[in-house]
């Protein structure tokens, strides 16, 4: 009965980012007010203290405020592997090359991911490894954030087929199942094609908007192969992208609910250097390897006046699930109940990207049978992970609660 949920892919490794259509190029004619070039022809970097504390005139009416001090981040002022209290290593090649037919195998080896000289270094190598021709690295934040400002100083490698990216996935994203994307939400703080210096890709993906590119071109002589600051301001009403303090793009919440704005959820932070795939193509410049993506710092500033404005703010009430986890025998069943349903809200159950209403599971109480799990490919010792959230009258979801059911 739940065969379409494809529970059998529970074992596949970590995250993917996804293919895009041909980008629409939006040239930036000249510099923004207050911006200037260095003698080398690069955009002058605005001091991060000024970026944090100086309000953007275009959003002064909103009066969203971010913490004046760093809430979370990494200065990479140590040597060795990325701090395990802050980062997880993502390894493997995922499902169909992370959904993009990428050619690399991510490893956790120090030759692919390390911190030295005050910088995180992700290194792509031309070498055979586990059946792949290239290796590289990817790290994912242990902590998920909801709204806030990220400022990341990075130097990007150049060369055909290189794909450096910094992006976030919503908490409903499941590494082993492509069905959760794009519904889970994705925002790209920055992605570039290594063969196109001076072009930046700023995207958001949701159930209603995905697959398209939003590419901007930088002024002449600006190169991504120098350290630049990439910033994103994320609020309940909009997401704004900045390059060295210059506003590049704005994406606005249109109030159409979760399918158009999944960005009320909590999101992780992904940093990776991919090789090949649908976005950059498979004409790899092997001479450019080893290719190194360098991060000088990652700084996150929390949104500190969350209740200031938006009618679209996520419902702070999170479902209380009873029980949170359970085990059943092969011929058994288990009932799960949400005990704190607010007025005028819908209880929404889903698993692996599928709305479970299609399987007759809705309301504040559902019963899952072992026959359902077995039909989905689960056997003794296997577990189904599912989620429940609230959807209010505006179509805005609450933070999700996770449940687990295991066949004994």
**What is the predicted pLDDT for the residue at 336?**
94
**CATH no., domain 321-407:** 2.60.40.10
Q: Where in the chain is the domain with CATH 2.60.40.10?
A: 321-407
Pick from 54, 264, 228, 72: nearest CA to 150: 72
**What is the predicted pLDDT for the residue at 306?**
59
CA distances from 335 to 4, 124, 290 (A): 21, 48, 54
The mean pLDDT value for 293-307 works out to 88
Pick from 228, 354, 398, 206: nearest CA to 296: 228
Confidence of residue 257 (pLDDT cuts 50, 70, 90): confident
Query: Rounded CA gap, 400 and 398, in Å?
Result: 6
Token code pair at residue 125: 């190598």
Q: Where in the chain is the domain with CATH 2.60.120.200?
A: 10-308
The mean pLDDT value for 14-37 works out to 41
Measured in whole angstroms, the distance separating CA 7 from the mean position of its chain's CA atoms is 23
Query: Rounded CA gap, 98 and 107, in Å?
Result: 14
**What is the predicted pLDDT for the residue at 376?**
67
Pick from 192, 172, 191: nearest CA to 182: 172
Q: What is the pLDDT of residues 266-295, one digit of tens each?
A: 899 999 999 998 888 889 999 999 999 999
Query: Rounded CA gap, 189 and 295, in Å?
Result: 13
Lowest mean per-residue pLDDT among 108-122, 172-186, 198-212: 172-186
Token code pair at residue 96: 């169909």
Query: Rounded CA gap, 333 and 327, in Å?
Result: 9
Query: Rounded CA gap, 136 and 104, in Å?
Result: 6
Token code pair at residue 13: 């490794």
Listed in sequence order, the residues at least 6 apart from 49 whose beta carbon sits closer than 8 Å to its beta carbon are none
Which CATH topology does 10-308 take? Jelly Rolls (2.60.120)
Give the catalytic positions in this structure.
186, 191
Confidence of residue 378 (pLDDT cuts 50, 70, 90): confident
Contact 351, 403 (CB under 8 A): no
What would the 3-class secondary structure string for 384-402 be?
EEEEEEEECCCCCECCCEE
Q: What is the pLDDT of residues 138-167, one digit of tens each?
A: 999 999 998 999 999 999 999 999 999 999
What are 169's strand-pairing partners? 186
- Cα 142–145–149 angle (5° rounding)? 120
**Taking the model in full, what pTM does it have?**
0.66
Residue by residue, DSSP assigns 345-385 as -EEEEEETTEEGGGGT--SSEEEEEHHHHHHTT--TT-EEE
């Amino acid at each position: 009965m739940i065969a379409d949920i494809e529970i059998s892919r529970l074992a596949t490794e970590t995250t993917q980012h996804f293919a895009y259509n041909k980008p629409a190029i939006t040239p930036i004619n000249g510099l923004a007010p207050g911006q200037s070039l260095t003698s080398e022809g690069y955009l002058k970097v605005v001091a991060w203290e000024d970026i944090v504390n100086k309000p953007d005139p275009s959003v002064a009416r909103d009066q969203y405020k971010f913490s004046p001090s760093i809430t979370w981040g990494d200065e990479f002022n140590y040597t060795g592997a990325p701090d395990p209290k802050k980062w997880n290593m993502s390894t493997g090649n995922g499902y169909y090359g992370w959904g993009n037919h990428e050619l690399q195998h991510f490893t956790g080896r120090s030759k692919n991911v390390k911190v030295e000289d005050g910088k995180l270094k992700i290194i792509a190598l031309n070498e055979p490894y586990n059946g792949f021709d290239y290796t590289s690295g990817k790290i994912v934040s242990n902590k998920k954030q909801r709204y806030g400002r990220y400022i990341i100083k990075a130097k990007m490698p150049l060369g055909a087929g290189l794909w450096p990216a910094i992006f976030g996935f919503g908490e409903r994203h499941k590494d082993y199942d492509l069905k959760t994307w794009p519904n889970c939400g994705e925002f790209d703080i920055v992605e570039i094609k290594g063969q196109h210096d001076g072009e930046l890709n700023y995207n958001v993906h949701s159930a209603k908007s995905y697959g398209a590119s939003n590419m901007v071109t930088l002024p002449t002589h600006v190169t991504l192969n120098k350290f630049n600051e990439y910033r994103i301001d994320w609020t309940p009403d909009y997401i704004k992208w900045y390059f060295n303090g210059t506003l590049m793009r704005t994406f606005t919440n249109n109030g159409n609910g979760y399918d158009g704005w999944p960005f009320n959820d909590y999101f992780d932070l992904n940093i990776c250097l991919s090789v090949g795939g649908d976005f950059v193509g498979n004409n790899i410049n092997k001479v450019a390897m080893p290719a190194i993506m360098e991060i000088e710092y990652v700084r996150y500033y929390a949104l500190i006046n969350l209740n200031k404005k938006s009618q679209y703010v996520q419902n702070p009430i999170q479902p209380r699930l009873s029980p949170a986890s359970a085990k059943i025998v092969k011929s058994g069943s288990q009932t799960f109940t949400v005990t704190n349903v607010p007025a005028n809200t819908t209880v929404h159950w889903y698993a692996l990207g599928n709305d479970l209403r299609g399987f007759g599971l809705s309301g504040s109480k559902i019963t899952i049978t072992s026959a359902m799990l077995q039909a989905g490919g689960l056997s003794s010792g296997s577990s189904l992970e599912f989620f429940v959230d609230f959807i209010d009258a505006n179509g805005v979801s609450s933070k999700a609660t996770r449940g687990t059911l295991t066949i004994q």
